[in-house]
Amino acid sequence: MTSKIAVIGFGNIAKAIITPLFDKKLLNPKDVYCLVNTKKSLENIRKNYKYDINILQANSKGSEIIWDCKVKLLSVKPQQLKNIIELEKNKNNNLLVSILAGVSLEKLIKKFPNHKCVRVVTNIPITIGKGLTGISWGDEITKDQKQFIKRLFENSSKIYDFPEDLLDIFLSVTSSGPAIIALIIEALSDGGLSGGLQKKLSEELVVEMILGTVSLIKETNLTTAELKNMVTSPGGTTISALRVLENRSLRSALIEAIVSASNRSKEFH
């Protein structure tokens, strides 16, 4: 990867995307210009980040250099977007890749008229290299540019191309999903606690059970219905548990949760 890259907002997710590229020597830290907002973050990155990148504070002398880079990764929080003002420099073939949750291509194109824009949705497991990334390509993105952008994300996540109208539901399933799973882990652990298990042990058992169940589904291609039937015997313990969940409409609550997150994401467009 030879182009110079600007990272506007070098926070948690940007680090998760960029660091593996340095680790694998696919990017040279000297070719990457990163922008943060506060002096505290600037100093923290200078002191603690393991690579010697070009780190700059927004609105400081010389920080406009980021607009010279052909490719920009935009990774501030959505509410911070209003503070990012495009500097008209090179008008041709500039590429801006946004990972801002819920910010539409239309909004990006209006805000960055001198850039071709790409909208990306990724999720928190990207911080351990196990992310899921959905990409909606704006107009006129060339094959080479698409390949370049995919290489930015493929070291930390699995990539899926999506039309933009499916990105909200992708975001809901993949980005709200981890919080839903965390809540389920917490609740099942509390069930173990109620039955007399120590909290830490109970949580460990739940996490290992979920990992094992997911591996079983992935490795054997069992359908979820087949797996459920395998562990549900007539008049047994599991059907007794499932009956409680059906009575309390857990299935419907989870479906509505995913639809609700997607609708909320659409409100941010």
Ligand X SMILES: NC(=O)c1ccc[n+]([C@@H]2O[C@H](COP(=O)([O-])OP(=O)(O)OC[C@H]3O[C@@H](n4cnc5c(N)ncnc54)[C@H](OP(=O)(O)O)[C@@H]3O)[C@@H](O)[C@H]2O)c1
Give min distance, CB of 264 to ligand X, in A: 13
Selected binder of ligand X within 3, 83, 198, 237 (CB under 6 A): 83
CB of 246 to ligand X, least distance (A): 32
**Of 77-85, 140-148, 190-198, 225-233: span binding ligand X (CB under 6 A):** 77-85
- Spell out the long-range contacts of 141-149 with Cβ–Cβ below 8 A and sequence spacing 24 or more: 141/95, 141/116, 145/95, 145/116, 148/1, 148/3, 148/71, 149/95, 149/97, 149/118, 149/120
Q: Kindly indicate which of the ranges 75-83, 187-195, 213-221, 244-252 contains the residues binding ligand X, using the contact rule CB under 6 A.
A: 75-83
Strands, DSSP E only, in the chain?
5-8, 32-36, 54-57, 71-74, 94-98, 115-121, 131-137, 157-161
CB-count exposure of residue 87 (10 Å: 0-12, 13-18, 19+): exposed
Which window, 78-86, 89-97, 203-211, 258-266, contacts ligand X (CB under 6 A)? 78-86
Among 80, 114, 213, 232, binds ligand X (CB under 6 A): 80
Considering the rule CB under 6 A, would residue 60 count as an interface residue with ligand X? no
Question: Minimum distance from CB of 155 to ligand X (Å)?
Answer: 16
Does the protein bind ligand X through residue 36 (CB under 6 A)?
A: yes
Q: Closest CB to ligand X belongs to which residue?
A: 11
Q: Which is nearer to ligand X, 99 or 169 (CB)?
A: 99
**Structure tokens, 87:** 């500097």
Angle separating helix axes 177-194 and 199-220, nearest 10 degrees: 130
- 10 lies in the site for ligand X, by CB under 6 A: yes
- Smallest gap from residue 49 Cβ to ligand X (A): 11
Residues 241-260 that bind ligand X (CB under 6 A): none
142 binds ligand X (CB under 6 A): no
Contact 153, 17 (CB under 8 A): yes
Alpha carbon 59 to chain centroid distance?
Answer: 27
CA distance linking residue 129 with residue 80, whole number of Å: 26
Q: Which of residues 189-248 bind ligand X (CB under 6 A)?
A: none
Residue 149 binds ligand X (CB under 6 A): no
30, 46, 60, 77: which one contacts ligand X (CB under 6 A)? 77
Strand partners, 94: 115
Does the protein bind ligand X through residue 172 (CB under 6 A)?
A: no
For residue 20, the surrounding DSSP H or E stretch is helix 12-23
Q: Which residues bind ligand X (CB under 6 A)?
A: 8-14, 35-38, 41, 58, 75-78, 80, 83-84, 99-101, 122-124, 175
